[in-house]
Amino acid sequence: MQFLRYAIVGLASNAALYLLYLAFTSIGFGPKTVMTVLFATGVLMTFLVNHSWSFQSTARRRTTILKYVAVYAIGYVINWLGLWLLVEELGYSHQWVQLAMIALVAGFLFVNLRLWVFR
C-alpha cells in the first residue's frame, strides 16, 4: 500500500510538472534550468503528502524534512547528470530523457524515503 500511495502522489505531481517542463522548454528555456526549478517545486509540493499519507509517518516533520531534502538533492543530481550526459553529450531528445529520468529518480527516491527518511 505504501508504494501505491507513493505512486499516486508521484504520478499526479510528476504529470503536472512534466507538462510544465514541456511548456517552458518549448518556449525556449533550457531543459536543465526548467528541471531545476520544477524539481524544487516538486519537493515542496510532495513533502507533506508523502509524510502524512504515502508513508504515514509519525516522526516529527522537522526531523524528516532535512533527510527528505537530502534524498531529493541526490535525486536532483542524478536527474541533472542524466540531462547533461544524454542530451548535451550524446544528443538524445530532452523530452524523452526527462521522462525516463522521472521514472529512474522516482524509484531511487522511493527506496530511500522508505528505508531512511520515513522508516
State pLDDT tens for residues 19-45.
999 999 999 999 999 999 999 999 999
Structural domain of 95: 2-117
| pTM for the model | 0.91
Whole-Å CA distances, 88 to 19, 58, 62, 79, 98: 21, 43, 38, 13, 13
Grid cell 507538462 — which residue? 19
Condensed to tens digits (0 to 9), the pLDDT of residues 44-77 reads 999 999 999 999 999 999 889 999 999 999 999 9
- The residue written with cell numbers 514541456 in the block is 22
**Residue 113: which pLDDT band, with cuts at 50, 70 and 90?**
very high
**SS3 label, residue 118:** coil
- DSSP per-residue string spanning 52-70: IIIS---S-HHHHHHHHHH
What tens digit of pLDDT does each residue of 79-109 get? 999 999 999 999 999 999 999 999 999 999 9
Domains held by the chain: number: 1
